[in-house]
Structure 1
Amino acid sequence: MPHFQRGDMWPAFATADLFLITTNSTIRKDGALVMGRGIARQARDRFPGLAVNLGRYILNTCGRLGNYGLLVSPRWPEAKLG
């Protein structure tokens, strides 16, 4: 059964079974995913290389447009994207 709470999500990161964030779907000219605000920006700042790796994955999967259905393991950066 899910347990919903309000507040800062990051304290739950280490123990969560599933930790999801929303991101922009725009890829910058340098290939990085736009992650400029909110929880996406916090994740980008917390995990160096995340925006570049997500952008590359999306470009390799479906190009600049389309549904890419991406989930990333909470074990980033050790885990693979997919």
Structure 2
Amino acid sequence: MAKKVVIGDDFDYALKRRLIDKLKAIGAVPLSSDWSLVGSQELSQLSVRIGSDVVGIESETFIGLSISGPDGIIDEIESELMN
């Protein structure tokens, strides 16, 4: 199963740093990244490979910072970041 979880605000740079550090610690390999500005909304997207799975990270104005991918990996990342 796959899930998507909003883990915080799009402007929470400390949370973004902790997320990047966690991804590095578990061996994430960057696949792609993109940045868009549409009106007043900014959208940043990053895809990483962790083992054989792909995890997506999005930061969107008014929506927040979210992670998506297989349940187990998302649960692990979310649990560690929320502690």
TM normalised by structure 1 equals 0.25
Q: Which has the higher strand share?
A: 2
What TM-score, normalized to structure 2?
A: 0.25
Q: Which one scores higher on RCO, CA 8 angstroms, separation ≥ 6?
A: 2
